[in-house]
Amino acid sequence: MTDDDDRDGTPDTDPRHIDPAGDLADAVESGDLDLSLDDDQDAADLREFVDAAESGELGPVDPGLEAQVRIARALLADVDDDGGEDA
């Protein structure tokens, strides 16, 4: 394996396993992909989503739901760090 091969792999995942949702969540969490809540979006709604997912209200956890929760947590961390609404 060359240095180029290391860079071409998916972040923090097994490059033999295709997990686009997990890869997207990896990119958001690492800061490689910069996302933020829009002015008309409510952080409280996002927190409700995370709470519902973690309590099992949204059904069994699957890789897609897990990635959504990871992305939501990253967005909420940015809101909290910035002292934004509902922080």
Residue pLDDT tens, the chain, 87 long: 444 444 555 455 566 667 888 889 999 999 999 888 888 889 999 999 999 999 999 999 898 999 999 999 999 998 887 765 544
- The whole-number pLDDT of residue 77 equals 92
- The whole-number pLDDT of residue 7 equals 53
Q: Which of 54, 8, 23 is nearest to 46 (CA)?
A: 54
User: Using CA atoms, how far apart are residues 31 and 35, in angstroms rounded to an integer?
Assistant: 9
- The whole-number pLDDT of residue 11 equals 54
CA 44 to chain centre: 17
Sequence-distant (6+) residues with CB within 8 A of 35 are: 28, 71, 74, 75, 78
pTM of full prediction above 0.85 = no
